[in-house]
Amino acid sequence: MSKSLLHLQCPLPKFDFDIITLAHGSGGLLTNKLLESGVFDLLKNDELDKHHDGAILELNGKVAFSTDSFVISPVFFPGGDIGELAVNGTVNDVAMCGAIPKYLSLSFILEEGLPMKEFWEILVSIKYATEKAGVRIVTGDTKVVDKGKGDKIFINTTGIGEMHPQADIALTRVKVGDKIIVSDSIATHGISILSVRQGLEFETTIESDTRNLNDMTLKLLDAFGTQIHLFRDPTRGGVAATLNEIARDAHLGIELNDTHIPVLSQVKAACEILGLDPLYTANEGVFMAIVAPEIAEGVVEILHTFDEAKHAAIIGEVVAEHNGQVLISNAMGGKRVVHMPVGEQLPRIC
Amino acid sequence: MSKSLLHLQCPLPKFDFDIITLAHGSGGLLTNKLLESGVFDLLKNDELDKHHDGAILELNGKVAFSTDSFVISPVFFPGGDIGELAVNGTVNDVAMCGAIPKYLSLSFILEEGLPMKEFWEILVSIKYATEKAGVRIVTGDTKVVDKGKGDKIFINTTGIGEMHPQADIALTRVKVGDKIIVSDSIATHGISILSVRQGLEFETTIESDTRNLNDMTLKLLDAFGTQIHLFRDPTRGGVAATLNEIARDAHLGIELNDTHIPVLSQVKAACEILGLDPLYTANEGVFMAIVAPEIAEGVVEILHTFDEAKHAAIIGEVVAEHNGQVLISNAMGGKRVVHMPVGEQLPRIC
């Protein structure tokens, strides 16, 4: 179902208040009113309906467990909002473990004065994102802080997934000769957020790439199992931070080929204008796979069957030299070191 | 180990920065520096050491899953701080499901400018609380928001616990005739926070009752299994909100005996001065058990073996009359309705 269709089906319920107040976080009648007058109905499922302090789940075997708090500003941006991002972010972290995301917890920190209309829009996005990713919200929490002590809405999601039976994803499995693949063009999310923040306008709107990645990782694990050595999503700090961490922690070198790294032309143009490096710019709907060389082409082929991985490409490989460092070669054959970023080019990007 | 001893063993590491900056939430070098220069060492365990996006856990059977965000103000208060509260709060929510808490995720939203000294003190409290409760922090996240967009520190913890094999805790199991037990004197946490906020001084400091409750619930489940019908911790909204929810959702009535409800004399005095009702005041280290009448005395006996449940008492029972309502009788035999609180007497109490 498209998000806009879902929106039509979920009109704003008749709340008898227009904004969030401190009392909505009290645990009393107003908290109940907030939840019962639409929120529970929207997110409805068997576990959530029990209204206990926690959910009871049946889990067997190896389970992946991951958490993220989302503080992005602005909360609405081209291509998504904080609600969709909060679901996808944790779904993707669980998927990066080689697991199939199943359950999420959902915890809000709302700022007093948040319009109910905005809260509802975010809830509808959450609903949409959970349906698309095939996960269920089974337990939650709502807190409200005084005006000026928060920023509209912060969301924490924590996810549980069942390990794919053929997955063996670990830093220790990364080997010399492994190929490094990105699932799609990079830097789109970061540039999208920056453009709204700065009020920049390009010929076409650059939309955030926020999306769930578990459908792709599942298909890859089904096809190649243990020949996939590592998944990582290069969010904050971008591809540069993620690969530097891998090189450092795996005690290996990484070499990238500049000309193979997919970047949308309008994103590249924006980066040039703004003096940003796409390698350091945050992503949301992109992951990297480090795989045995013999399956690299096959991985890219499968990724290309997905609309949102049309630009998947092999961008480099793992090498024995320059332990702990990431190098990049350009079209002329020159090489430079890609350093670990010190800070983020953009704070509050997710 | 006492908290002060642990504090001596965990002196503030030599961070080369005194305060949290936005770059500490960037995912780059400074985030790494923050985590590697003491945080990971302090919270050390096998799962956390893998530094992946998530933790891989082995779980079999029924599992309880619960989340809470903590936004208490002030973050340090008599008897505890937000770190200890964040661990205990989620440990207790998992315990209330009839489960044995095992793993926690830990997610920070820090406000730019938070002194490292305060952050460290909170981390040490977290460590202390996890050791006391017997749980491990296996995955986490750190975000930083601009000064004025948060309030020092917000913490989300999400917990996983294994169901006690003899537990069958559910609202549907509450029956007419069941006894209602509180594990200790009520309203202490709320009054403690209020007294610091208002700068009130009483003859003795009223300390928050924040503590883990899983040791008590485990012992009760070991002893009485399915004869325990429900556990609930009356946090926000106090005993009144929790019992109103139970009465409403179980479609039964509840009758309390005013004279049996334990309240510390200094808390009672403070409530009188401040015009607060202990029934509506938040608790942290107190739970309620609704149990078969024949085991009620035995439950209280076991609770009395714990230092922090010395005032455990049977305070009421479940009745067939006045469906959905909570009534309280006083020493004179008069009865009044205990309504669901509309808002919280004190915002940001947890």
pLDDT of A345 higher than 90: no
pLDDT in tens, B148-183: 999 999 999 999 999 999 999 999 999 999 999 999
> What's at A188, amino acid-wise?
T
What is the pLDDT at residue B82? 98
Alpha helices for chain A (secondary structure H): 3-9, 29-34, 40-43, 82-96, 116-133, 188-197, 214-224, 238-250, 265-274, 296-304
Pick the CATH number of A171-337 from 3.40.640.10, 3.50.30.40, 3.90.650.10, 1.20.910.10: 3.90.650.10
Q: Do A343 and B58 touch (CB under 8 A)?
A: no
Mean pLDDT of chain B, nearest integer? 92
Closest alpha carbon within chain A to B54: A66
CA distance B159 to B167: 18
- A17, A21, A26, A350: best to mutate for the B interface, most B CBs within 10 A: A26
The shortest C-alpha distance from B231 to chain A (Å) reads: 10
What is the pLDDT at residue A31? 80
Q: Find chain B residues with C-beta within 8 A of A26's C-beta.
A: 236-237, 341-344, 347
Closest alpha carbon within chain A to B141: A68
Give the nearest partner residue to B156 out of A53, A69, A343, using CB atoms: A69
Measure CA B343 to chain center: 19
* 3-class secondary structure, A59: strand
Give yes or no for A59 touching B (CB within 8 A): yes
What is the pLDDT at residue B157? 98
Q: Tell me the pLDDT band of B7, cut-offs 50, 70 and 90.
A: low
How does B38-70 read in b/e, with b if 16+ C-beta sit within 10 Å?
bbbebbeeebbebebbbbbbebeebbbbbbbbb
pTM of the model: 0.94
Query: In chain A, which segments carry CATH 3.30.1330.10?
Result: 3-163
CATH superfamily of this structure's domain B3-163: PurM-like, N-terminal domain (3.30.1330.10)
The shortest C-alpha distance from B5 to chain A (Å) reads: 31
* Short-list A350, A224, A336, CA closest to A289: A224
Cβ within 8 Å of B, A 226-255: 232-233, 235-237, 241, 245, 249
Span of A38-42, B97-101, B238-242, B313-317 with lowest mean pLDDT: A38-42
Q: Find chain B residues with C-beta within 8 A of A93's C-beta.
A: 53-54
Mean pLDDT value of segment A63-78: 96
Span of A25-34, A115-124, A216-225, B320-329 with lowest mean pLDDT: A25-34
- Contact present, B251 and B324 (Cβ < 8 Å): yes
| CB atoms near residue B323 (< 10 Å) | 12
The shortest C-alpha distance from A8 to chain B (Å) reads: 30
Q: Tell me the pLDDT band of A46, cut-offs 50, 70 and 90.
A: confident
Give the nearest partner residue to B29 out of A65, A342, A348, using CB atoms: A342
Query: In chain A, which segments carry CATH 3.90.650.10?
Result: 171-337
